[in-house]
A and B are shown apart, each in its own frame.
Chain A
Amino acid sequence: MAAGLDEKTVRNILAGRATRVDLKTIARLSSTLEVTPGALWKSRPDPVEAWVSTAGSAGQAEPSELEQILADRPSEYVDSGLERALRSP
């Protein structure tokens, strides 16, 4: 390997199986690939965790507000598309 690293080590890193990677290995990889060390990581939030943490993040609705939406009752507001489309030219 151009980086002088063990193939199995590189495979584990690429597959996300590596749990500990020493600084020399990171330096060799980033130098060989000509990228900054940060580019070696592609962190994605855990999807389940993301849904849990965003529930209610825009404020807590009144129960009546949620009931209206769940029952698909017409809103008191005109929808955003109509709001713009109906604006006088």
Chain B
Amino acid sequence: MSRCYLDTNFLYVHLRSERSEAPRPLEDWRSRVLAQVTVDGGAISALVHDELAYRLILAWLRDDGVDDPLSAYRADAQTVMKAVRRRLTATWRAVDSLSLELLLTDSAVVEQARSLMARPGLGPRDSFHAAHALVAGCSAIASTDAAFDDVPGLHRLAP
């Protein structure tokens, strides 16, 4: 086993599902990933922070009864950010408590991402996630995204 890169979708469903409320496939997935992460360590990148915040903000708007969260966000992002500030702060505290390694984006990551865009032809965002994992020596990625199955050297922990 080795360190595992956590894709945004894993952290998102973890933070949005209490153990007693989670459907069985999610709980199985969470258990398998955590068995690896709590022993060998987990890692994320700034991309995960960005995507997590964005998805949570839209989800919280919907929780608050906003019919069209994306339009509300686009119309006045600053007001939305103020409205979710406390929840976002609590989320960062939760993420920090998980002691995940924050991987840096350096020239090696950019080079690796460019290479993955060329072959096997990953999309830009997926390429950057995979590049962070590979450069940091993570051999596993917890993700729902099947695109990572095409990345040599990366084993996907799927739901």
**What is the interface of chain A, defined by CB distance below 8 A to chain B?**
44-45, 47-48, 50-61, 63, 65-67, 69-72, 75-81, 83
Residues of A within 8 A of B23 (CB): 63, 66-67, 70
The reply to whether the CB of B119 lies closer than 8 angstroms to some CB of chain A is no
CB distance from A52 to the nearest CB of B (A): 7
CB distance from A53 to the nearest CB of B (A): 7
Query: Would A47 and B98 count as touching, CB distance under 8 A?
Result: yes
Query: Would B54 and A83 count as touching, CB distance under 8 A?
Result: yes
Query: Quick one: which of A56, A67, A78 has the most chain B CB within 10 A?
Result: A56
Given A47-B98, A78-B70, the answer on whether A57 and B15 have CB atoms closer than 8 Å is yes
**What is the interface of chain B, defined by CB distance below 8 A to chain A?**
9, 12-19, 21-23, 25-26, 29-30, 34, 37-38, 47, 50-51, 53-56, 58-60, 63, 69-70, 87, 90-91, 94-95, 97-99, 124-125, 144-146, 159
CB distance from A8 to the nearest CB of B (A): 30
Residues of A within 8 A of B60 (CB): 58-59
Cβ-closest 10 pairs across A and B: A56-B18, A80-B54, A58-B15, A61-B16, A54-B94, A72-B144, A50-B97, A47-B38, A57-B94, A70-B159
Given A70-B25, A72-B146, the answer on whether A54 and B98 have CB atoms closer than 8 Å is yes
Residues of A within 8 A of B69 (CB): 77
- A51 nearest CB neighbor, chain B only: B34
- B14 nearest CB neighbor, chain A only: A55
Query: Would A81 and B15 count as touching, CB distance under 8 A?
Result: no
In Å, the complex CA distance between A76 and B29 comes to 24
In Å, the complex CA distance between A76 and B62 comes to 13
Query: Would B50 and A80 count as touching, CB distance under 8 A?
Result: yes
